[in-house]
Amino acid sequence: MAKRLDISDLNIYYSDFLAVEGVTMAIEPRSVTAFIGPSGCGKSTVIRSLNRMHEVIPGARIEGRIALDGEDLYGREVDPVRVRRQIGMVFQRPNPFPTMSIHANVIAGMRLNNKRMSKAAADEVVERSLRGANLWNEVKDRLNRPGSSLSGGQQQRLCIARAIAVQPDVLLMDEPCSALDPISTLAIEDLIGELKQEYTIVIVTHNMQQAARVSDQTAFFNLAGVGQPGKLIEMDATEKIFSNPSKKATEDYISGRFG
């Protein structure tokens, strides 16, 4: 479970466009790392490179090294599908399979990986994952209803249940609360606090209060101008970033002077 990510000298391209340059950082297991920074600085691009989702875009590629507990995720022998199972992702908009039942949604990834799963084993995974996502009590009596019958916040927790069903090492979350109301947002934030006991979590957020509330480490990205690559400006304990950052650009951003 929870593994460490080491990123070194990472450059990320969309065809010829260098979107992110020279990122080196360590993401610790059993902790929450927040990526913050102005629009277009490359937060989503970096997070998508961590589980090899970046390369599904035609022409997209990376240079540098990303290692999970020392294993180079871009090594020649490495299967990107396996990487995406080990490093799960939750997106901005909850995206359950709308016509599939709640039960089937949770095990959708497992079915892909292990087609012959007994009903009892499936039921156990569904309950464990829904409990893990703090959704079990709300849905246990209607597991056969479609995923789309849930509220937005419940759908997002269903997506988190789906992501943890395959027992990943890392959970990536790209603005997981931006489509949610404040109550659902708090439920997800509480859940992130619980999940970090078992997982390595990386969250992209535009909401600096959220970064301050949920994360242990914060990475601030910035870009020098339009058409310039995004860069990691500094990364440190969240408390330090929000109280006494080392770089002026970070201070300007967190104090709302730009971005």
Ligand X SMILES: Nc1ncnc2c1ncn2[C@@H]1O[C@H](COP(=O)(O)OP(=O)(O)OP(=O)(O)O)[C@@H](O)[C@H]1O
Which positions lie near ligand X, rule CB under 6 A? 14, 17, 19, 37, 39-45, 57, 230
Q: Tell me, what amino acid is at 164?
A: I
Q: How far apart are CB 51 and ligand X at their closest, in Å?
A: 14
Nearer Cβ to ligand X (41/254) = 41
Query: Which three-class secondary structure string do you get for the chain?
Result: CCCCEEEEEEEEEECCEEEEEEEEEEECCCCEEEEECCCCCCHHHHHHHHCCCHHHCCCEEEEEEEEECCEECCCCCCCHHHHHHHEEEECCCCCCCCCCEHHHHHCHHHHHHCCCCCHHHHHHHHHHHHHHCCCHHHHCCCCCCEHHHCCHHHHHHHHHHHHHHCCCCEEEEECCCCCCCHHHHHHHHHHHHHHCCCCEEEEECCCHHHHHHHCCEEEEEEECCCCCCEEEEEEEEHHHHHHCCCCHHHHHHHCCCCC
Residue 171 forms beta bridges with which residues? 88, 201
Choice between 13 and 110, CB closer to ligand X: 13
CB nearer ligand X, residue 151 or residue 178? 178
d(CA 85, CA 78): 12
C-beta of 90 vs 102, nearer to ligand X = 90
Of 48 and 162, nearer to ligand X (C-beta) is 48
**Nearer CB in complex with ligand X: 175/189:** 175
CB of 43 to ligand X, least distance (A): 4
Q: How far is the CB of 19 from ligand X (least distance, A)?
A: 4
Judged by CB, which is closer to ligand X: 87, or 126? Answer: 87
CB 107 within 8 A of CB 126: yes
Minimum Å distance from CB 4 to ligand X?
Answer: 23
**Shortest spacing between CB 257 and ligand X, in angstroms:** 18
* Least spacing, CB of residue 179 vs ligand X, in Å: 13
For Cα atoms 199, 90, 31, give the angle at the middle one, nearest 5 degrees.
Answer: 25
CB 195 within 8 A of CB 218: no
